[in-house]
Structure 1
Amino acid sequence: MPDHNTTLDNLAALIPSATLLTLYHLYLFRCVHKTPGRTVYGLTKAARRVWVAAIMFRKNEILAVQTLRNWIMASSFLATTAVLLITAVLALVGQMAVRWTKETLESPVFYMLGFVTEDWFASVRFFNHAGMICNVNLTQTELESILEPAPARSSGPFGNRLDSSPTKQWEDPSGACYRSIHNNPSRVATVLNQGCFYYSAGMRCYYIAFPLVAWFWGPWPLGISTIVLVALLRVIDFQISDFDELPRCSEEAMVEIRTN
């Protein structure tokens, strides 16, 4: 017979934990859109716009390439760490399977969870291989674009937009609109902020993985780790001045930074 008490304990810990994380991220989403000056994401988004404009107008291409390279290296390191975390979870599940009893194997809950975890592990293996292939292809493309001569790189439709300043002369005489779009710092900053948004979303999934791993040790570690995670995210996502009531960046200044 299945252990209904254990199932109820897990549900009693899972539902409040998921609700707490959902409410916090809804609150963060509202703050980012309503009062971006309070959040780290709003400030960094505005700072990237200023940084892109400074790079493009001062023609500091080396700094742009080095910064983007450092971001790519950090993303690759975190992706490798995520793969190691998945491998550790799989090993932990294998160790737990040794201690499963006959009653556990015969319970209907086990069959349901076994079906779900089997599909999940298959999807993890698929996306792991697909991610490795995409990473190798992207790395090869980046190396080819770096080794390619600068004139050929700038004339392509997917050239380095950060390296193109507004004073550069394009070879295409009919590309007045093309030049105005690709030399627009606001557009380049928008593309850069979109990439950083995906990076932040990946980091957020990375943080949420720790309560899920703690769930293997029982419902209490899940609840405690969720509360600790929300407290840490509150410190990470918002300014320190939001706690000690120091002066913050005004909304008028944020709007001026966006427009400029």
Structure 2
Amino acid sequence: MEWKKCYLDVILVPLGFSLCMGYHVWLWHKVRTQPFSTVIGTNSRGRRFWVSAIMKDNEKKNILAVQTLRNTIMGSTLMATTSILLCCGLAAVISSTYSIKKPLNDAVYGAHGEFMVALKYVTLLVIFLFSFVCHSLSIRFTNQVNFLINCPPDTSSGVVSPEYVGELLERGFALNTVGNRLFYMAMPLMLWVFGPVLVFLCSATLVPVLYNLDFVFAAAAEKRKSGAEVGGGNEHDCGSV
């Protein structure tokens, strides 16, 4: 009888989770092998150029750098605060003596025993905790960049270089991206409270939405490529003249 109650949870929840994980593994492979076909790789390249330009002309652009990094820190702080507040709420629900599953019994498909309800909330709690940790570390790296980007050039040792500051900034943005993706993946798990069918449907909907946000469209990439070829041809012609 217990298997008949939870077979949907055993099948659909891991399947929906595998869809999200498989997509992000494929996205990571694309970022590593074809970075300019993804928004993440393109933005990463742009941020490195931005750091180099800011540090070269620091006297004129130091205020711009501080304001830009401050806005990034504010966004990470908001997400970290939201994650830890949700963790506190879930911890309060888990430790509460009131059984919240009783009014939902008739509306939930799949298993809804005490162990399954506890598993749902503990899983959500772990996801939000990891999201909080990633956003907190992102704030740490971005704060370091906020100090180092306005330092005078270190000509003696060359340690504080645009490459080093750019690497710190990329680590901060990478952790911010991971924290956001964990937050997104918590959305299907929140629907697990109402049954495993909604988990699978939400995961199947989330993947194409993220795909449209993560990848540069072929038309735009082709246009950029043709523009680069035209620019290269013009330079060649000018050189011939």
Question: TM-score normalized by structure 2?
Answer: 0.71
Aligned counterparts of 2:222 and 2:123: Cα–Cα separation in 1: 51
Q: Which residue of 1 aligns with 2:233?
A: none
Q: Which residue of 2 aligns with 1:149?
A: none
Q: Which residue of 2 aligns with 1:257?
A: none
State the AA in 1 paired with 2:163: S
SS of corresponding position for 1:192: helix
Q: Of 210, 213, 217, which residue of structure 1 is paired with 2:194?
A: 217
| Consecutive aligned runs of 4 or more in structure 1 exceeding 3 Å deviation | 83-95, 97-101, 109-121
| 8 Å CA contact retained: 2:124, 2:186 | no
Q: Which runs of 5+ in 2 are unaligned?
A: 106-110, 229-241
Q: Which residue of 2 aligns with 1:187?
A: 164
Deviations 1:101-160 (A, max 9, x none): 8xxxxx9x7458748967986x799x69x97xx89xx7xxx7xx9xxxxxxxxxxxx992
| 8 Å CA contact retained: 1:75, 1:199 | yes
1:247 pairs with 2:222 = yes
- Give the root-mean-square deviation of aligned CA atoms: 3.7
| 8 Å CA contact retained: 1:57, 1:165 | no
Shift of 1:89: 4.9
Shift of 1:90: 5.8
Q: For this pair of structures, how many residues does the alignment match?
A: 208
Aligned counterparts of 1:21 and 1:247: Cα–Cα separation in 2: 28
Higher relative contact order structure (alpha carbons within 8 Å, sequence separation ≥ 6) = 1
> Relative to structure 1, is the Cα distance of residues 227 and 49 closer, same or farther in structure 2, using a 3 angstrom cutoff?
same
Deviations 1:37-90 (A, max 9, x none): 011110111001110011101112111111111111111111222234445656
Aligned counterparts of 1:115 and 1:20: Cα–Cα separation in 2: 20
Q: How does 1:33-72 map to 2 (within 5 A)?
A: 33-59=32-58, 60-72=61-73
State the AA in 2 paired with 1:97: K
Aligned counterparts of 2:119 and 2:196: Cα–Cα separation in 1: 22
> Relative to structure 1, is the Cα distance of residues 97 and 22 closer, same or farther in structure 2, using a 3 angstrom cutoff?
same
Deviations 1:135-190 (A, max 9, x none): 9xx7xxx7xx9xxxxxxxxxxxx992100243xxx7xxxx821xx111x1111101
Aligned counterparts of 2:199 and 2:67: Cα–Cα separation in 1: 40
> Relative to structure 1, is the Cα distance of residues 216 and 25 closer, same or farther in structure 2, using a 3 angstrom cutoff?
same
Q: Which residue of 1 aligns with 2:18?
A: 19
State the AA in 2 paired with 1:215: W
Shift of 1:35: 0.2
Q: Of 145, 148, 152, which residue of structure 2 is paired with 1:161?
A: 148
Calculate percent identity across the aligned residue pairs.
26
SS of corresponding position for 1:96: coil
| 8 Å CA contact retained: 1:55, 1:162 | yes
Q: Which residue of 1 aligns with 2:179?
A: 202
> Relative to structure 1, is the Cα distance of residues 197 and 10 closer, same or farther in structure 2, using a 3 angstrom cutoff?
same
| 8 Å CA contact retained: 2:51, 2:162 | yes
Aligned counterparts of 1:159 and 1:82: Cα–Cα separation in 2: 24
Q: Which residue of 1 aligns with 2:238?
A: none
Question: TM-score normalized by structure 1?
Answer: 0.67
Q: Which residue of 2 aligns with 1:176?
A: 156
Aligned counterparts of 2:222 and 2:124: Cα–Cα separation in 1: 47
Aligned counterparts of 1:64 and 1:202: Cα–Cα separation in 2: 23
